[in-house]
């Protein structure tokens, strides 16, 4: 796969969060980002909000593959882990509803290709860019803008873009570690043309994209977003 092949793809990368889920959408050379923000004490309502936000966007584009940030196993506290698990479950379910193949993107892998590599983030700078503080978030977004020429409103959107950028490098053959090579193979297998799929003239993979296509017939598909 080369850079021209990647430019023909439609890729969505998602950084799940109950408060602000970052999304970066790449559509054949054109990218956009947004965050799905939720508020309120009722967690179920907030999860529905994430589902509805993703559904509204995904229903309008035929994505070839989705990248979902994997669990941050360093997170401490059962409540945080539970919330992240629920959000990831909603994200993966929504992608499945719209028949979008998804891969889990290990945090260490994408950060190794971007934050630890291109951004040249050392221990001292990492402390300066602590995204839990306002100054840290601003410094992080400023560095991303300086390096890539892109402006993001939230660090969640910036992270989703960095996930996409790291994936592009992996698909171009930059994977060196066993884990990264395994990820590259998984993605290439998904993007490959199988016997029951064919490429159309635009180079995108044809799949059944009707609502609920990724589920069995016993499950009622969601209503398509207006």
Query: DSSP readout, 135-168?
Result: HHHHHHHHHHHHHH----SSHHHHHHHHHHHHHH
Q: What's the pLDDT at 146?
A: 86
pTM of the model as a whole: 0.79
Q: What is the DSSP letter of 214?
A: T
Name 21's bridge partners: 36
Q: What's the pLDDT at 58?
A: 94
| pLDDT per 10-residue tile (average), the chain, 226 residues | 87 95 94 94 94 94 93 62 90 95 89 64 53 82 87 94 90 84 88 48 48 43 42
Domains belonging to the chain, first-starting first, are: 3-191 (3.30.420.10)
Tokens of 64: 């070839």
Counted residue by residue, the chain has a size of: 226
Q: How many CB atoms lie within 10 A of CB 123?
A: 6
Q: What's the pLDDT at 119?
A: 54
Integer CA distances (angstroms), 102 to 17, 83, 140, in order: 17, 20, 27
Instruction: Identify the three-state secondary structure at position 104.
Output: strand
Q: What's the pLDDT at 178?
A: 86
């Amino acid at each position: 796969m080369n850079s021209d092949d990647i430019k023909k793809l439609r890729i969505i990368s998602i950084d799940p969060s109950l408060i602000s889920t970052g999304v970066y959408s790449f559509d054949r050379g054109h990218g956009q980002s947004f965050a799905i923000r939720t508020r309120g004490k009722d967690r179920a309502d907030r999860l529905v909000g994430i589902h509805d936000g993703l559904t509204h966007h995904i229903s309008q584009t035929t994505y070839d593959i989705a990248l979902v940030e994997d669990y941050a196993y360093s997170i401490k506290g059962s409540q945080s882990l539970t919330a992240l698990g629920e959000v990831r479950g909603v994200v993966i379910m929504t992608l499945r509803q719209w028949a979008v193949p998804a891969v889990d993107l290990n945090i260490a892998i994408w950060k190794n290709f971007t934050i630890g590599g291109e951004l040249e983030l050392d221990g001292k700078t990492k402390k300066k860019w602590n995204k839990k503080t306002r100054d840290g978030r601003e410094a992080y977004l400023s560095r991303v803008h300086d390096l890539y020429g892109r402006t993001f409103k939230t660090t969640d959107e910036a992270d989703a873009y960095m996930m996409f950028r790291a994936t592009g490098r992996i698909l171009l053959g930059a994977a060196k570690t066993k884990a990264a090579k395994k990820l590259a193979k998984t993605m290439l297998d998904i993007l490959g043309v199988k016997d029951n799929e064919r490429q159309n003239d635009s180079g995108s993979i044809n799949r059944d994209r009707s609502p609920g296509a990724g589920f069995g017939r016993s499950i009622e598909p969601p209503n398509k977003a207006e």
